[in-house]
């Protein structure tokens, strides 16, 4: 199991993530869901061993019984944890052919020969159904969908135990998204899989466990039984025939300017005087959530 406890990630003046807790089981896809600005990508990058300049982290990260906080880039990133980024065009060097980019990553991390690197790169390109006729193309000659497949092949070629996808379909047209989500489900089998998205229908399609983030806080960690009013609000935004969409009022607050108490107050239909204090995490059945008014 991969477990994160009491994680805080802060800038010099305010926290981006506050008291985040989650558990990730091998072989199950954990979806991190929330609106823009919730801290989803920051959390994904941290798990991958990447902490952007100027940020500081504190908490505990337990991986298969070992405390590995903080995950360090030199022995973690790429080898034990791989991340697929939002924009596949920024993943590749525009001056390099696709196959050469994959080979370079393998040679750098695994210290293998060029011939071994090419053999391994080709194997993973085929596994993600990347057409062989494009192996020697440059990035600008490919569609976003094909480039994202190539980036997934590059991440998987290092055979990491943890694979993180940070909104991998956000730069793609809707018809291409389903292919990428299906590919992720297939290639992440047996791994610790984390899928970050703000597309609720995509989250429900791919997820087996869910972490709901709001303004840097864990609102709920659950399987498919959602109890928190914010979780329910997100679910109500999914288009369904003969059902009205419930449009939330207001906007998610900036993490530097949160209201006193529960960060969701002001948008929550259950708000009362209790919400003037920050609620602790509590368990309801198989879910862990942060709310005074759900029991």
DSSP per residue, 6-35: EEEEE-SSSEEEEEEEEEE-TTSEEEEE--
Question: Is 142 domain-assigned?
Answer: yes
Which stretches of the chain score pLDDT less than 50? none
Question: Is 295 domain-assigned?
Answer: no
- The C-alpha atoms of residue 88 and residue 126 are separated, in whole angstroms, by 18
- The C-alpha atoms of residue 120 and residue 74 are separated, in whole angstroms, by 22
Return the pLDDT at 239: 64
| Tokens coding 189 | 């089998």
Please check whether residue 269 is in contact with residue 229, taking contact to mean a CB–CB distance below 8 angstroms.
yes
295: how many CB neighbours lie within 10 A of its CB?
7
**Cα 131 to chain centroid, rounded:** 27
Question: Is 113 domain-assigned?
Answer: yes
- Which run of H or E residues covers position 108? helix 98-110
Phi, psi of 31 (to 5 degrees): -95, 130
Q: What's the domain range around 245?
A: 2-290
Return the pLDDT at 276: 94
CATH number reported for the structural domain that contains residue 26 in this entry: 3.40.50.300
Return the pLDDT at 161: 92
Which residues are within 8 A (CB) of 79 and not within 5 positions of it... i.e. 6 or more apart? 109, 158, 160
Q: Is 54 left (phi over 0), alpha (psi -120 to 50) or beta?
A: left
Question: Is 80 domain-assigned?
Answer: yes
Please check whether residue 226 is in contact with residue 285, taking contact to mean a CB–CB distance below 8 angstroms.
no
Distances (CA, A) of 282 to 104, 127, 195, 293: 47, 42, 24, 11
Please check whether residue 137 is in contact with residue 55, taking contact to mean a CB–CB distance below 8 angstroms.
no
Return the pLDDT at 91: 87
Question: Is 19 domain-assigned?
Answer: yes
Q: What is residue 164's DSSP assignment?
A: E
Return the pLDDT at 7: 93
Q: Is 249 left (phi over 0), alpha (psi -120 to 50) or beta?
A: beta
**Which residue, 263, 231, 197, is CA-closest to 16?**
263
Return the pLDDT at 73: 57
| Tokens coding 12 | 């010099």
Angle between helices 114-127 and 98-110 (to 10 degrees): 120
What pTM was computed for the model?
0.91
Question: Is 285 domain-assigned?
Answer: yes
For residue 250, with 0-12 CB atoms within 10 Å meaning exposed, 13-18 middle and 19 or more buried, which class applies? exposed
Return the pLDDT at 247: 67
**Which residue, 47, 38, 48, is CA-closest to 198?**
38
Return the pLDDT at 48: 87
> 76 by DSSP, 3-state: which?
coil
Domain count, the chain: 1
Question: Is 277 domain-assigned?
Answer: yes
- Give pLDDT tens digits for 161-215: 999 999 998 878 777 888 888 899 899 989 999 999 988 888 988 999 999 999 9
């Amino acid at each position: 199991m991969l477990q994160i406890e009491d994680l805080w990630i802060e800038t010099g003046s305010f926290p981006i993530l506050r008291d985040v807790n989650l558990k990730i089981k091998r072989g199950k896809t954990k979806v991190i869901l929330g609106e823009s600005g919730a801290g989803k990508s920051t959390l994904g990058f941290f798990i991958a061993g990447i902490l952007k300049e100027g940020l500081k982290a504190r908490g505990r990260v337990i991986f298969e019984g070992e405390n590995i906080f903080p995950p360090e880039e030199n022995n973690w990133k790429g080898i034990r944890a791989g991340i697929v980024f939002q924009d596949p065009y920024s993943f590749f060097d525009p001056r390099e052919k696709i196959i050469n980019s994959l080979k370079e990553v393998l040679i750098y991390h695994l210290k293998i020969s060029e011939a071994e690197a090419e053999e391994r790169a080709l194997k993973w390109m085929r596994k993600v159904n990347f057409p062989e006729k494009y192996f020697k193309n440059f990035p600008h000659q490919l569609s976003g969908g094909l480039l994202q497949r190539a980036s997934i092949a590059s991440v998987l070629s290092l055979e990491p135990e943890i694979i993180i996808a940070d909104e991998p379909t956000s730069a793609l047209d809707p018809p291409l998204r389903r292919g990428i989500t299906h590919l992720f489900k297939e290639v992440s089998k047996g791994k610790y899989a984390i899928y970050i998205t703000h597309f609720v229908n995509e989250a429900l399609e791919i997820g087996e466990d869910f972490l709901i983030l709001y303004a840097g806080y864990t609102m709920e960690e659950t399987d498919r039984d959602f109890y928190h009013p914010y979780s329910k609000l997100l679910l109500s935004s999914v288009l369904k025939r003969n059902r009205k969409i419930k449009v939330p009022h207001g906007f998610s607050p900036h993490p530097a300017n949160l209201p006193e108490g529960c960060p969701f107050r002001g948008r929550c239909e259950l708000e009362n005087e209790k919400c003037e204090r920050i609620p602790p995490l509590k368990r309801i059945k198989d879910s862990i959530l942060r709310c005074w008014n759900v029991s």
